Each structure stands twice: as C-alpha cells, then as structure tokens.
Chain A
Amino acid sequence: MLPLFLDDFWVLFTTRVLILGLMALSFDLVWGYAGILSFGQALFFGVAGYCTALLATKLEITSVFVLLPAAALVGLVVSFVVAAIVLLGKRPPSVVFVALGTLTGSYVVERLARGWSYVGGQNGISSLPRLTAASYEISEGPVFYYMALVLLVLVYVGLRVLVRSQLGLVLAGIRQRENRIAFLGYTTQNYRGFVFCLAGFVSGLAGALYAFHEGFVGPGQLGPVLSTQVVLYALFGGVGTLIGPVIGTGLIDLLGFYFSHIWNTGWPIILGLLLLVIVMFRPTGLIGFFVSDRERIGSFGRASRARIPPARREAPERTAP
C-alpha cells in the first residue's frame, strides 16, 4: 500500500530495497541454511541482468513473462556451473574454499565485463527499454513496486515452506554436524548444491528486476563489492531467518540515505561501525533481539501423534527394559 502515501522518490527507493532484499534472501538461503559462504551472489545477479539486457536490446524482447523466467534460468545455470566447480566434489569442500571460489568467480566476471566491448565495457548497457506485459509498459513507480513486492513475497513463502520441510531438517543437520549427516548416508554436497542453485535462481530473478528498474546494467552489478554488500545486509538483519536479510537491506539503505544527507563524506564510517557492532555483539543479527535460537532453527512438523503410554512417561533413566 506504500505507494499511495509516498512520493515518487520513495517508491523508487523502496522498490530498490525489495529487489536487493530478494538478493539478500538468496544469500541467506546459501549461508544461513546450507552453510555455504558465497561471495558470489552478485555473479548470478549480474550475469542474469546482462543476459536479459542483451535480449531486450539486441533481440527486442521486452515481455516480462519471457525475461524474468529467462533471468532466473540464467541464474540457475550459472550457479550450477559454479557449484559443479566448487561444491560438488567427491568430498565436501571447506567453507573457505567455497568463499574464495565464489569471490574469484565474481571478480573474474566483473573484469571480463569491463573489458568486453560487446556488453558495453566499463559503461555497461544503458537505456534499457521498459518491461512489457502484453501491450502494457511496466514503468518504474507503483506498478514496478507491486511486481517486486509480489515476487518477493512469493519467493519468501516458497523458501519458508522449503526450509521447514524435511529437506530443511536435513539442511539443519548438515549445518550442525556435516560429518554425522554424511555417515547417515546423505550425500551432503548434493543438498548443498541444490540449495546453491536455488539461490542462484532467486539471485538471477533479482538481477533482471534490478537491471530493468534502473534501466541500466553495468560491471558493478557483477562484482565482489555488491556480493559483499549483500553479505552485510544479511548479517546485519540476521541470517538463517529469511526475513532478517530483507529487514537488513531496508535498514541499511535507509540509514545510508539518511546519514549521507547529514554527513556526506563520513557516513560509510558510521555505517561500518554500526555493522561491526552488530556482527560482534549480535552474531544472529538484529532479528536475534526478537527471536530465540530454538525458534530460529524452528520445527519441522509435529513430533508424533502417537501418545506416550503413561507408564513410560516417568521412565527411569538407568534401567534396562
């Protein structure tokens, strides 16, 4: 309902927050739920942005029903390639290896984009056409806002169901003791790879939304800077909650906006200190003030409908049956 009360600037601002929140959500999925420290979410975001921008400018495809699924697909495929390299070995890789692998990927692709004139080099691809639904043009503003909001809510609900399913239970186990889970017979890399690709899918979707919202796609949307920014959004809001990173994105952007007005040169320092304080004293993020650890891990369905026989209820601890 927000666009009814806000002027144009704030509608654009909140739309941007929703889109980046979607990307932060994808990071939370990989780090908060699958324990993969991915410094490469921008890679999927940016590549999907570039691909859809090329589709729109070179082939003049602007239909939202083609471009958004295409973007998600690109994110999925690229993340699968990255997963095949860094995640899906015979034995589980270390967290640091995956972090460096994804960071390197993000860096390399940014450098490639900067040097490749077909995709606009340093300048990227600008003045993208608007997305269309049939003959209707989706311009930035309330309509785009609602589209982003609906997509964010859909993705959030879908992921929420997923992380509370029995698959989510397996992921919770992997986070706590990967070795133990492997000894039970789970090929943990496959579960991780699956979640990583799903997150790539979401990131890709966000990437195309962002590109068409800004009307521009550039190397900055691919690189380690954006990748890291998303990590901070998520840590600030609270990982492993799905909603935390979205809140984190909104708050950081809002604070950034506010402080940059009153102290233009110094605000990154304030922001940095704030992030540091949160990460040091609240490793669970802002959401950690409201949600206990047990709630955070959550339940995965009711334990059992079978009633415990009354005689057993007081089972003495040390007697054999």
Chain B
Amino acid sequence: MTLLEPRGNLLEARGVTKVFGSLTALSNADLAVRQGEFHGLIGPNGSGKSTLLKCIAGAEIATQGSIMLGGQDITHAAVPERARAGLSLKFQITAVLPELSVYDNVLLALQAHESMPRLMLSRSRQVLDERVMHLLSRFQLDARRDELAGVLSHGQQQWLEIAMALACAPKLLLLDEPTAGMSPQERRATGELLMPIKQNCSLLIVEHDLDFIKDICDSLTVLDQGQVLASGPTQQVQNSERVRDAYLSHA
C-alpha cells in the first residue's frame, strides 16, 4: 500500500508516531516524496496531516520513527539545521514580516546563509539585488517592493510567502494550505506559479481544496485517524474505495 521506492526518494518518513499526552495524533505513518514530485497530503480534519507536516518541518519532534531528507537524518534536527539540509516551508497562516518592506522580506530569505560579518557590511544587499527582483517579478510583486508586507492583500501575502520559501533554493518545499482564503482566480494563479519550480524542487502540500490538489499533484498520501490510508499516484488513490469511504464518513 505504501509506496516506498528505495531509489530517488528525497524525503522518507518511516514509522512516524506522535503522541500528545494520551492522544496519539499520528501512528506509524510512512511518507515518501520523490525528487521533483508534487505530493499531496490529504485527510479529514484531525487525521494527523498537520502533525506529520510539523514533524517534518521541526515544529514538533516525532515521538518515534525517523525522517530522512536527501539521505540526512533530520528527525531530531533543530529548525535552522533542517533549513540548511534543503527544507523550506510556507506557513498555514501567512507569516510574512508585516513591518518590513516586501523587498526586505525576500532579501531576508535569500541571505539566510550569509555570514554575520558580510551582513554587517551589507555586502549581501547589492549582491542579491538581482535575485530579489527576479523573484518579486515572478510573483508579480515587483511594483510593490517598497510597501510594507503587512499591507498586501491576502493572496499577495501568500505569494510573497511562497517567494520567500523558494528564495532559500530548497530541495523540498512544504506548503501548508497554500490557497486558504484565496479567491478561485488566485487559486488558479497560485497553481500556475507553482508549476515551474518542479525542475529544482519537490513539493509536499497539505490542502483542503481537493480540486487544487488533483490539478497539481503527481501523487497523494491519505491520512485518516493518524494512519496512512492510501498512498500512490493521484489517479489511483482518487479511485480507491477506502479513501472515498473515509472522506464520506468523516469530512
């Protein structure tokens, strides 16, 4: 049932269990994301998908099991170590830096690996200027570069976040409900903005909007009550009886 290929897996979570007090949020869950794959993580509310994402991101530490990213064990790694291993994420609630300009938000994301002396001398600003502007124009934010990030529309803040997440040149990007609160047009645009990153980056998406997921994901993992119900190519999982049952009975 679980699709675990020995070769080409960028992210490999095995037997991940997370217990909060007496509640087992996640029980022995496996998840594999291949290189360059867009992978959807779905399931009813309380199925443990956010918990699994947090364990991968480092916001929570798994009680049991292991998480490997590009061959490196990140199960217990601190958050900045995970980022250096090639992980990036976009939060569920937009978490841009509201009191900094749009430009500075992206620059911050880009210069995360600069040394302190270089930052002090502000060398990074000139060097990275072109890349900042490139990212901004890709997400149609270049005209608003001097405005505070806090005044952008909701959809634009989401795009800014994705731009920041991509600025770190990640191997794996985690997106927690990227289209939450977006209009249908913004959703479609978001999907189109995400497609080009496939060449360099894998994607793991938690999303309620199944149409969005079906449109952009190559494969799906379905969680229910903390366990993996199904995992595999999108078409196959979509047609599975068990998945339909779970969704109909819990959603």
Hey, which bits of chain A sit against chain B, CB under 8 A?
A: 90-91, 162, 165-167, 169-170, 172-173, 176-177, 179-188, 190-191, 194, 293-294, 297, 299-301, 303-306, 308, 312-315, 317-321
- Among A170, A187, A303, point to the contact of B101 (Cβ < 8 A): A303
Partner of B91, one of A169, A180, A321: A180
Within 8 A of A (CB), among B156-189: 156, 164, 168, 183, 185-186, 188-189
Instruction: Given the known inter-chain contacts A162-B120, A169-B107, A306-B133, please indicate yes or no for A313 contacting B143, CB distance below 8 A.
Output: yes
Partner of B97, one of A177, A293, A308, A314: A177
**Nearest chain B CB to A132's CB is how many angstroms away?**
34
- Least CB distance from B84 to A in Å reads 6
Which listed segment binds A: B40-48, B108-116, B199-207, B218-226? B108-116
CB distance from B192 to the nearest CB of A (A): 4
Q: Whose C-beta in chain A lies nearest to the C-beta of B58? A: A183
**Contact of A321 with B188 in the complex, beta carbons under 8 Å:** no
Assuming A182-B79, A317-B153, is B137 touching A312 (CB within 8 A)? yes
Q: Is B13 an interface residue (CB 8 A)?
A: no
10 additional A-B pairs beyond A166-B114, A306-B130, A321-B140, beta carbons within 8 Å, are A167-B119, A176-B97, A183-B79, A183-B83, A184-B112, A187-B78, A188-B80, A304-B133, A312-B137, A315-B143
Determine how close the nearest CB of chain B comes to the CB of A108; give it in whole angstroms.
Answer: 30
CA distance A258 to B142 in the complex (A): 55
Q: Which residues of B contact A194 (CB under 8 A)?
A: 116
**Which chain A residues border B188 with CB–CB below 8 Å?**
320
The listed residue with most B CB atoms (<10 A of its CB), out of A166, A181, A187, A304, is A166
Q: Is the interface of B mostly helix, strand, loop or mixed?
A: helix
21 pairs, A vs B, C-beta closer than 8 Å? A90-B78, A166-B119, A166-B122, A169-B108, A170-B108, A180-B95, A183-B79, A183-B89, A184-B109, A187-B80, A188-B80, A300-B125, A301-B125, A304-B129, A304-B133, A305-B129, A312-B137, A312-B143, A314-B143, A315-B143, A321-B140
| Inter-chain contacts of B153 with A (CB < 8 A) | 317
Say whether B246 faces chain A, with CB atoms less than 8 Å apart: no
Question: Chain B contacts of A320 at CB under 8 A?
Answer: 188-189, 192-193
Q: How far is the CA of A172 from the CA of B91 in the complex (A)?
A: 19
Partner of A185, one of B112, B120, B132, B140: B112
Contact among B120, B155, B164 with A184 in the assembled complex (CB-CB below 8 Å): B164
Q: Is B231 an interface residue (CB 8 A)?
A: no
B125 touches which of A166, A172, A176, A191 (Cβ 8 Å): A166
- Asked if B138 CB lies within 8 Å of chain A CBs, one says yes
> How close is B236's CB to chain A, nearest CB, in angstroms?
29
Within 8 Å CB of B60, what residues of A? none
Are A184 and B108 in contact, CB atoms less than 8 angstroms apart? yes
Cβ-based interface call for B209 (8 A): no
In the assembled complex, how far is the CB of residue A34 from the closest CB belonging to chain B, in whole angstroms?
13
Residue of A165, A169, A293 most packed against chain B (CB within 10 A):
A169
A293:B143 contact, CB within 8 angstroms? no
Chain B nearest CB, measured from A191 CB (Å): 8
Q: What A residues does B112 contact at CB under 8 A?
A: 184-186
Task: Give Cα A177 to B96, complex, Å.
Answer: 8
**Residue B208 is within 8 A (CB to CB) of chain A in the complex:** no
Enumerate chain B residues within 8 angstroms of A293, measured Cβ to Cβ.
Answer: 99
**Chain B 57-101 interface residues, beta-carbon cutoff 8 Å to A:** 57, 78-80, 83-84, 88-89, 91, 95-101
Per CB-CB distance, the 4 closest pairs between chain A and chain B, nearest first, are A185-B83, A185-B112, A320-B189, A167-B119
Cα-based distance from A169 to B79 in the complex (angstroms) = 20
Looking at the assembled complex, report how far the CB atom of A292 sits from the nearest CB atom of chain B, in whole angstroms: 11
- Cα A185 to Cα B96 with chains together (Å): 15
Q: B125-150, CB under 8 A of A: which get 1 and which 0? A: 10001101100011010110110100
Which residues of chain A come closer than 8 Å to B140, judged between CB atoms? Answer: 312, 315, 317, 321
Chain B residues whose C-beta falls within 8 Å of the C-beta of A191 in the assembled complex: 116
Is the CB–CB distance between A165 and B95 below 8 Å? no
Residue from B123, B129, B188 whose CB has the most chain A CB atoms within 10 Å: B129
Q: How far is the CA of A41 from the CA of B193 in the complex (A)?
A: 50
A172 to B107, CA, bound (A): 13
A172-B114 in contact (CB<8A): no
CA distance A221 to B81 in the complex (A): 41
Q: Is B38 an interface residue (CB 8 A)?
A: no
Contact between chains at A300 and B80 (CB < 8 Å): no
**Does B238 lie at the interface of the complex (its beta carbon under 8 Å from any beta carbon of A)?**
no
With A165-B119, A181-B108 as contacts: A176 and B99 at CB distance below 8 Å: yes
